[in-house]
Amino acid sequence: MSASTSLADLAHAEWVRQALAEFAAADTPAQLENAKARFLGKAGVVTEAMKSLAALTPDERKARGAAINAAKQQIEAALAARRQALAESELERQLAAEALDLTLPGRRRGQGTIHPISRAAERIEAIFASMGFDVAEGPEVETDWYSFTALNNPENHPARSMQDTFYVDLKDAEGRWLNLRPHTSPMQIRYARQHVEAHRDLIARGGRMPDIRVIAPGRTYRVDSDATHSPMFHQVEGLWVGQDVSFKDLKVVYLEFIQAFFETRELSLRFRPSYFPFTEPSAEIDIRFEAGPLAGRWLEVSGAGQVHPQVIRNYGLDPEQYIGFAFGSGIDRLAMLRYGVNDLRAFFEGDLRFLAQFR
Ligand code: DAH
């Protein structure tokens, strides 16, 4: 082996070393292709060396050619290996970037819930329906006649005053002033008149009208606002009218209702004399829990009474033949007692931290 051949071999080994170093330093496919061009490109060292073979003698050309080829193969192999490595690390990078972390908690969809007042109203409806009561709804914007006059509420009664009632600055088609109903009692009149109308022929023939048994839950309005009063609140009206109904029936039904509502039999009820223009006699209904956090105190939950003869007449019935019992209870008050809420306003402020507790 001649001295020049061995030098050329060294040079070739040096190319391979350098190519390996440059390929290893290339971090991207573009850098790698640039490095490749310096060795294997048109003007790369390997290509140039190949071209220079033409000037050599056949022997030199053979020896030198073989050495260059060997170097070229090693460089090509190194290039292929590095391409493969870069492609693999690119895949790794993509996989890492797009990885799904299955241990992350999911994004929750905000779950709604039935408002505690609606829930209380639904319970009340279900309990009375199970005792054969119809459930009726009526307008929240009422006329003076339904809100007051038909309920035997005298013109000068304080409930009619501006301090209590929200008046609407409008009259209905018949010229009657409108108000936001201050109680659900107008529904007694609306429902009873419809019921009487539906049985008019029967009544005219002296037949016996089926009893009126209805509750009417809904929103009511008064100019009033503190921890136990809201300008918008909820009542449920109850009415039972027939030919031989008595106070005892009212008491039995109400006790049954209140025990079902609070899911306890350890609860008593008392009627305390009171006054309402549309009942005579009138009473307040108080309840007392015998156990639990509220035990021992009488709590007022409802007005009640025997329907006044004038109101029976306004139903379209003869008070000599028909007798009625009615009550009007605060739904919000019942819900407060049932859920242990002591500020009524919490129900209507829409604070989700409060409302979510009823889920
Ligand atoms: N309407 C009365 C109020 O808002 C409550 C009431 C009392 C309703 C006696 C009645 C009743 O039906 O008989 O305070």
Same-domain check for residues 199 and 291 = yes
Q: Is the domain of 165 the same as that of 302?
A: yes
Mutate to test the pocket of ligand 1, among 133, 165, 183, 221 (most ligand atoms within 8 A of CB): 183
Whether the CB of 233 sits within 6 Å of ligand 1: no
Same domain, yes or no, for 26 and 82?
yes
Question: How far is Cα 300 from Cα 128, in angstroms, rounded to an integer?
Answer: 20
The answer on 120 and 93 residing in a single domain is no
Structural domain includes residue 141: yes
Q: Report residue 78 as tokens.
A: 């190194």
Residue nearest to atom 2 of ligand 1 (CA): 328
Residue 30 lies in a domain: yes
Please check whether residues 207 and 268 belong to one and the same domain: yes
Instruction: With respect to residue 252, please indicate whether it lies within any of the assigned structural domains.
Output: yes
Residue in 240, 327, 333 to alter for ligand 1 test, most ligand atoms within 8 A of Cβ: 327
What is the atom index within ligand 1 of the atom nearest the CA of 325? 13
Residue 166 lies in a domain: yes
Any ligand 1 atom below 6 A from CB of 116: no
Give a yes or no: residue 40 inside a domain.
Answer: yes
Instruction: List own/partner pairs for 313-320 with CB under 8 A and 24 or more apart.
Output: 314/150, 314/151, 314/152, 314/189, 314/193, 315/188, 315/189, 315/192, 315/193, 315/196, 315/212, 315/241, 316/192, 316/193, 316/196, 316/197, 317/192, 317/196, 317/203, 317/209, 317/241
Residues 339 and 219 reside in one and the same domain: yes
34 and 182 in a single domain? The answer is no
Residues 281 and 332 in one domain: yes
Ligand 1 in contact with 302 (CB < 6 A)?
A: no
Q: Is residue 241 part of a domain?
A: yes
**What is the chain's mean pLDDT, rounded?**
91
- Confidence tier at 4 by pLDDT (50, 70, 90): very low
303 lines ligand 1 (CB under 6 A): yes
Contact 168, 139 (CB under 8 A): no
Q: How many domains does the chain have?
A: 2
Span from the CA of 275 to the centroid of ligand 1 (angstroms)? 9
The residue segments making up the domain with residue 125 are 116-358
User: What separation in Å is there between the alpha carbon of 280 and the centre of ligand 1?
Assistant: 12
183 close to ligand 1 (CB < 6 Angstrom): yes
Range name among 159-168, 229-238, 300-309, 311-320 with the lowest pLDDT average: 159-168
Separation CA 161–CA 102 (nearest Å)? 65
114 CA from centroid of ligand 1 (Å): 27
User: Which uninterrupted H or E stretch holds 334?
Assistant: helix 331-339
pLDDT band at 104 (very low <50, low <70, confident <90, very high): confident
Beta bridge partners of 285: 271, 302
Residue nearest (by alpha carbon) to ligand 1 atom 12: 327
By alpha-carbon position, which residue is closest to atom 13 of ligand 1?
A: 304
Checking if the pLDDT of 12 tops 60, the result is: yes
The per-residue pLDDT for range 261-282, each reduced to its tens digit, is: 999 999 999 999 999 999 999 9
In a domain, 108, yes or no: no
> Residues 291, 158: one domain?
yes
Q: Residue 184 gets which letter from DSSP? A: S
Distance 184 CA to ligand 1 centre (A): 8
Same domain, residue pair 139 and 37: no
Same structural domain, 38 and 163: no
Q: Is residue 296 part of a domain?
A: yes
Residues 52 and 120 in one domain: no
Residue 199, pLDDT above cutoff 70: yes
Q: How far is ligand 1, taken at its centre, from the CA of residue 89, in Å?
A: 81
CATH number of the domain bearing residue 191: 3.30.930.10
Which of these three, 65, 97, 129, is where a domain ends?
Answer: 97
| Tokens encoding 71 | 């170097």
Ligand 1 proximity of 152 Cβ (cutoff 6 Å):
no
Q: pLDDT tens across 306-354, in order? A: 999 999 999 999 999 999 999 999 999 999 999 999 999 999 999 989 9
Measured CA to CA, the distance from residue 259 to residue 265 in angstroms comes to 6
